[in-house]
Every structure is written in C-alpha cells, then in structure tokens.
Amino acid sequence: MPALYVMIPVALIIVAIAVWIFFWAVNSGQYDDMDGPAHSILFDDEDPKHQAGIDEAEGARDTQAEARDKDSRDA
C-alpha cells in the first residue's frame, strides 16, 4: 500500500510530461506536413514544376507561421 503513495504521483507526472511533449510538438510544427517528405522522394529535384511546388509550399508554410506569430502576439 505505501508503494501506491509513490507510484501514483510518479505515474501522473510521467503522463503530464508526455502530454506537454505532445503539445510542444504540435505547436512547434512537427505535424504540419506529414505527406510532403513521403512524396518528395518520388520527384526529381531538377524538375522546374517540382521546384515551383516546393517554393509554393514554403511560401504557404511561411504564411502560416506569420499568422501563428500574429495570433500569439494578439493574445
């Protein structure tokens, strides 16, 4: 029984750390583009259409980051 007094708070702390790590990963953009890297291996880097797609995706990512920064400053 005395072991439960130690194990339950330790388990709650571990869960809290796991939840914090998950939200940190989501807020830092770790899950923004799950399909891009998987599909990028199929394309030739020298293809102008592919390069245009990369530039467009980076522009969209920059726009999202700017919007996120603006929202955080407004809050």
C-beta separation of 17 from 24 below 8 A: no
Structural domain spans, the chain: 1-31, 33-75
Low-confidence stretches of the chain (pLDDT < 70) are 43-45, 47-50, 64-65, 70-71, 74-75
C-beta separation of 21 from 53 below 8 A: no
Q: Give pLDDT, residue 17.
A: 99
Four-residue CA torsion sign, 62, 66, 72, 75: negative
The number of helices, as runs of H, and strands, as runs of E, in the chain is 3, 0
Record the pTM. 0.48
End-to-end CA distance of the chain, in Å?
46
Q: Give pLDDT, residue 12.
A: 98
Q: Give pLDDT, residue 14.
A: 99
Q: Give pLDDT, residue 63.
A: 73
Pair of tokens at residue 46:
């020298």
